[in-house]
């Protein structure tokens, strides 16, 4: 009985936690050969966006942006989520900290 | 690649090195055996390896924000153990509690920073032509970070006990405040806390990319574009630790020099 009750509360907890996740549009970014695909993404002003970063390389990469205030390791052959926004109009560069020579991109907020 | 790895490793090592140096200097001044440091480093290393091995699982957990949740928890734990340390220093009879707080904060800092270093270097093992510059760069970065730590250690060890406790605790509470601020940033990134426009933009004044910016980031949790909630929690956490530290320092001034 208690077990079921715990499950029930967990379900409610997850539902609460997940509400904003469902609301945000998802944009996929792939990492291949230490490059971002696409390396330019456009998002609307004042909108929260969920970036799903898929690392196809077998080496780890760190998605980083000082302008967006974001930093996250994406392990090789794995994926991770980074939420950005709501943002004002402008260009927000991001880069792969582990391979910064090639892994460069930007978020354009319009 | 070489310079890049210097900066990456320096940044990771610096935070842990600062905590380790301040705590070992304090235990030296308080005549506490430094056996605790070995235990802390070893358990931290085991934790870091375990975390690095499971990084893929963690990354995909909780809808892709498992890393943020774990890292934010680690940062908040470091803050809590620093608070515990300040409390235990006030009432020095509670020796065990003090050592427990020291071991825990160092071990967690090593888990947090060590796991990222392992994940970073591990990526280059499969590309031998890059491995050597990466290892040289990492060694230089680690050397720089440790040197700054050693500098702080001697700075604290060579002053009187009262002053050492004062300086050591001031550095610790600034680092602890930075931990809270970083935890908030991670929770915003994971969408657990609502995201807002940054309070200010001081990137033209002190860029986070610069060496000074990196040092300030490790030391006081400097952010050039902090979110309001980040700044607010940073301020609250500082107020709490400042009050506790003032009480602790006062208790040291009332007792004779050891």
Q: In tens digits, what is the pLDDT along chain A, a chain of 110 residues?
A: 555 666 666 665 555 555 544 568 999 999 999 999 999 999 999 999 999 999 999 999 999 999 899 999 999 999 999 999 899 999 999 999 999 999 999 999 99
- Interchain contact A34–B (C-beta under 8 A): no
Pairing relationship of beta strands A49-55 and A26-32 according to DSSP bridges: parallel
In chain B, what is the straight-line distance between the N-terminal and C-terminal CA atoms, in Å?
50
Contact A83 B185 (CB under 8 A): no
Contact A75 B185 (CB under 8 A): no
CB contacts of A18 in chain B (<8 Å) are: 63
**Which of the listed ranges A5-9, A27-31, B32-36, B197-201 does the model predict with the highest average pLDDT?**
A27-31
- For the ranges B82-96, B178-192, B234-248, the lowest mean pLDDT is seen at B82-96
| Beta-sheet strand order (sheet of A49-55) | A35-37, A26-32, A49-55, A79-84
How many percent of chain B have pLDDT more than 90?
A: 73
- Report which of B74, B49, B52, B19 is spatially closest to residue B187, judged by C-alpha positions: B74
CB–CB of A64/A36 below 8 Å?
no
- Interchain contact A54–B (C-beta under 8 A): no
Best of B66, B115, B119 to disrupt the A interface (most A CBs within 10 Å) is: B119
Which pLDDT does position A15 carry in this prediction? Answer: 56
Contact A86 B224 (CB under 8 A): no
DSSP 3-state assignment of B191?
coil
| Rounded CA separation A48/B13 (Å) | 33
How many percent of chain B have pLDDT more than 70?
A: 98
Which pLDDT does position B123 carry in this prediction? Answer: 85
User: Which phi and psi angles does B225 have, rounded to 5°?
Assistant: -130, 70
- Interchain contact A86–B (C-beta under 8 A): yes
Q: What is the mean pLDDT of chain B?
A: 92
Rg of chain A in Å (alpha carbons): 17
Task: Write down the pTM of the prediction.
Answer: 0.89
Pairing relationship of beta strands A104-109 and A35-37 according to DSSP bridges: unpaired
Could you count the other beta carbons within 10 Å of the beta carbon of residue B246? 13
| Rounded CA separation A10/A5 (Å) | 9
- For the ranges A33-37, A51-55, B10-14, B109-113, the lowest mean pLDDT is seen at B10-14
| Beta-sheet strand order (sheet of A40-43) | A40-43, A104-109, A90-96, A61-65, A70-74
The domain segmentation of chain B, as residue ranges, is: 2-253
CB–CB of B252/B162 below 8 Å?
yes
pLDDT at B255 over 80: no
Q: Which residue has the tokens 């904003």?
A: A20
Of B55, B59, B191, the CB nearest to A83: B191
User: What is the band of B197 on the pLDDT scale with cuts at 50, 70, 90?
Assistant: confident
Mean pLDDT, range B68-95, rounded to an integer: 92
Structure tokens at B80: 């809590």
DSSP A25: P
Q: Which domains does chain A have, with CATH numbers?
A: 23-109 (2.60.40.420)
Of A66, A79, A84, the CB nearest to B203: A66
Mean pLDDT, range B89-96, rounded to an integer: 80
DSSP 3-state assignment of A62?
strand
User: Which phi and psi angles does A75 have, rounded to 5°?
Assistant: -60, 155
Mean pLDDT, range B231-255, rounded to an integer: 90
| Rounded CA separation B221/B223 (Å) | 6
Contacts of A50 (CB under 8 A, 6+ apart): A21, A24, A25, A26, A27, A81, A82, A83, B191
pLDDT at B8 over 50: yes
| Rounded CA separation B174/B65 (Å) | 27
Contact B197 A85 (CB under 8 A): no
| 3-class SS shares of chain A: helix, strand, coil, % to 5 | 20, 45, 35
pLDDT at B91 over 80: no
Q: How many Cβ contacts (< 8 angstroms) between chains A and B?
A: 89
Task: Pick the residue from chain A with its C-alpha nearest to B53.
Answer: A75
Which pLDDT does position A22 carry in this prediction? Answer: 52
Which pLDDT does position A21 carry in this prediction? Answer: 46
Higher pLDDT, B136 or B34: B136
Contacts of B23 (CB under 8 A, 6+ apart): B37, B85, B102, B105, B106, B168, B172
Higher pLDDT, B94 or B41: B41
CB–CB of A30/A56 below 8 Å?
yes
Mean pLDDT, range B192-219, rounded to an integer: 87
CB–CB of B44/B180 below 8 Å?
no
User: What is the band of B246 on the pLDDT scale with cuts at 50, 70, 90?
Assistant: very high
Structure tokens at B182: 């970083």
Which pLDDT does position B51 carry in this prediction? Answer: 97
Contact B203 A77 (CB under 8 A): no
pLDDT at B23 over 70: yes
């Amino acid at each position: 009985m208690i077990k079921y009750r715990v499950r029930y509360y967990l379900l409610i907890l997850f539902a609460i936690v997940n509400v904003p996740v469902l609301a945000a549009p998802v944009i996929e970014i792939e990492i291949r050969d230490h490059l971002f695909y696409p390396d330019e993404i456009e998002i609307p002003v004042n909108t929260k966006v969920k970036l799903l970063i898929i690392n196809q390389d077998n080496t780890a990469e760190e998605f980083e942006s000082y302008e967006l205030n974001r930093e996250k390791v994406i392990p090789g052959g794995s994926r991770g989520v980074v939420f950005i926004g709501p943002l004002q109009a402008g260009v927000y560069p991001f880069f792969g900290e582990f391979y910064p020579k090639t892994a460069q991109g930007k978020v354009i907020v319009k | 690649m070489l310079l890049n790895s210097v900066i990456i490793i320096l940044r990771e090592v610096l935070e842990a090195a600062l905590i380790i140096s301040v705590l070992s200097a304090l235990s030296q001044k308080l005549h506490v055996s430094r056996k605790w440091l070995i235990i802390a480093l070893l358990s931290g290393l085991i934790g870091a390896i375990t975390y690095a091995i499971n990084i893929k699982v963690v990354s995909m957990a909780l809808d892709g924000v498992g890393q943020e949740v774990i890292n934010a928890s680690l940062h908040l734990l470091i803050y809590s153990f620093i608070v515990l340390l300040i409390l235990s220093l006030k009432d020095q009879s509670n020796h065990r509690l003090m050592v427990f707080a020291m071991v825990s904060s160092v071990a967690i800092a090593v888990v947090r920073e060590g796991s990222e270093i392992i994940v970073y270097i591990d990526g280059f093992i499969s590309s031998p032509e890059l491995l050597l510059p990466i290892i040289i760069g990492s060694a230089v970065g680690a050397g720089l970070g440790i040197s700054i730590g050693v500098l702080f250690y001697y700075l604290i060890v060579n002053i009187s006990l009262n002053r050492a406790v004062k300086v050591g605790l001031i550095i610790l509470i600034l680092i602890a405040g930075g931990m809270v601020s970083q935890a908030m940033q991670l929770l915003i990134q994971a969408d657990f806390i609502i995201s807002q426009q940054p309070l200010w933009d001081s990137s033209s004044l002190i860029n986070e990319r610069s060496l000074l910016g990196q040092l300030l980031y490790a030391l006081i949790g400097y952010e050039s574009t902090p979110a309001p909630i980040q700044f607010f929690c940073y301020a609250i956490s500082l107020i709490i630790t400042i009050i506790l530290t003032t009480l602790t320092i006062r208790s040291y001034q009332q007792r004779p020099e050891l």
